[in-house]
Structure 1
Amino acid sequence: MSHEAYELKAEAREQVGKGSARAVRRDGKVPAVIYGDKQPPLAIALSYKEIYYKIHGGGFLTTVATIDVGGKKIQVLPKDYQLDPVKDTPLHVDFLRVGKNTEVNVQVPVHFINEELSPGIKRGGVLNIVRHEVEFHCPANAIPEFITIDLTGANIGDSIHISAVKLPAGVKPVIADRDFTIATIAGSAAMKPEIEAPAAEAEAEAEATEE
């Protein structure tokens, strides 16, 4: 999990629609809906402050939470949220009910380690990240916090594909029909030549022959 599981208290909403949502926001709360697991959708209102800090604290969409609705505790995974385009404040949240067999598609961040052990980067090559996140299909209660790419030994021109990543049990990439690229090591104008001395010697020999 990206972060430790947490619990939120909520109130059930009898009415739904734009008017009801505006009234909830005027009361300092955030309207939300819990759906899925073959049950009817449940409209709720959450604490604005709690949701604001959870959304902006990172890992919100990859962490299973418990919502206490009038004493009834429901396990959920946040699936989507809307923010005010100007103020960046939460306007609405969608939650998916999580049962013991629930599987979900989630975007998981990619982390890179051991850049200092990459010969290509040492020579001035550039890490070109093709995918900052990868979408995986996995159990809702076993979402990885991130996947790790080890750059040890990576050289100029190398590509790192999804097949090179060791994934936890039950975690599979949604793109299954090809071994897609996550990153490459590209050359740059600032690169150091790999072999300088032999080239200089060859040039000196050529000049001596001409003389």
Structure 2
Amino acid sequence: MSEAIFTLDATVRSDLGKGASRRLRREDKLPGIIYGGEEAPVSITLAHNKVFQASEFEAFYSHVLTLNVDGQSVEVLVKDMQRHPFKPKIMHVDFQRVVAGHKVHTNVPLHFINEDSSAAIKAGGVAEHHATEVEVTCLPAALPEFIEVDMANVELGQTLHLSDLALPEGVSSVELAKDDESHDLAVVTVKAPKGAASDESEEATEE
């Protein structure tokens, strides 16, 4: 994957307001903001096509990015992105500063692996995904691009929860840190094949 999607050029903008943002968009530029840390928020302008291309990659949302703001490098995470309701266009993007030695909170995508080789799936089971990402906290250097959910040994009718995930060293689940069973959210369930329950009922009736 090209490192270009993790590095973007930006300039500080002083012309603020809805009218200014509309003018920027007409020029194929993207308004944004950097906030967090001990510094004041900074309004910035980026090249829309560069950000749009980068946004097509999943890792863009869970990777520490580098913004070159008027020659100064700032490490950030994407915290919010506003898109046009029907056009392929980004309207605004929020970045949060990453401070060395300070933990970050962000969502990391889940990658479900070994579904095709799972005995339960081969037997006709259907994997029902309850989550596509998980909120984690960790130091910036430990932030994973994704977390794998291994389906190889999941049985029919079984549900994997957050506590079943193998998180990388130094990474913890924000939900599980709340120390409440209700926060051990379901991630994926392998449901029995359609008709299996009714077939069993019919067999019991015949007996």
Counterpart Cα distance in 2 of 1:53 and 1:123 = 40
Cα displacement string for residues 144-181 of structure 1 (whole angstroms, at most 9, x for unaligned residues): 12211222232212121222221112211111223332
Residue aligning to 1:196:
none
Q: CA deviation at 1:43?
A: 1.0
Following superposition, the deviation at residue 47 of structure 1 comes to: 0.8
What SS does the aligned partner of 1:141 have? Answer: helix
The 5-angstrom pairing of residues 36-51 of structure 1 reads 36-51=36-51
* TM-score (norm: length of structure 2): 0.83
Q: Does 1:138 align with 2:143?
A: no
Larger Cα-atom Rg? 1
Identity, in percent, stands at 37
Unaligned 5+ runs, structure 2: 197-202
| CA separation of 1:145 and 1:3: change in aligned 2, threshold 3 A | farther
Work out the number of aligned pairs and report it. 194
C-alpha distance in 1, partners of 2:111/2:71? 39
Change (3 A) 1:29 1:123: same
- Note closer, same or farther for the CA distance 1:3–1:95 as it changes in structure 2 (3 Å cut): farther
Query: 2: distance between equivalents of 1:73 and 1:187?
Result: 52
1:185 alignment partner in structure 2: 190
Alpha-carbon shift at residue 143 of structure 1 (Å): 2.0
Matches within 5 A, 1:21-170: 21-170=21-170
Residues 113 and 150 in structure 1, CA contact (< 8 A), matched pair in contact too: yes
**3-state SS of paired residue (1:43):** strand
Segments of 4+ moved more than 3 angstroms: 2-5
The C-alpha deviation readout for 1:42-83, integer Å capped at 9, x for no partner, is 111101111110112322221211111221111111111111
Q: Which segment drifts farther, 87-96 or 176-185?
A: 176-185
SS at match of 1:169: coil
Shift of residue 190, structure 1, vs aligned partner: 5.7
Q: TM-score, normalised by structure 1?
A: 0.82
Q: Is the 8 A contact 2:65 2:76 kept in 1?
A: yes
Aligned residue in 1 for 2:199: none
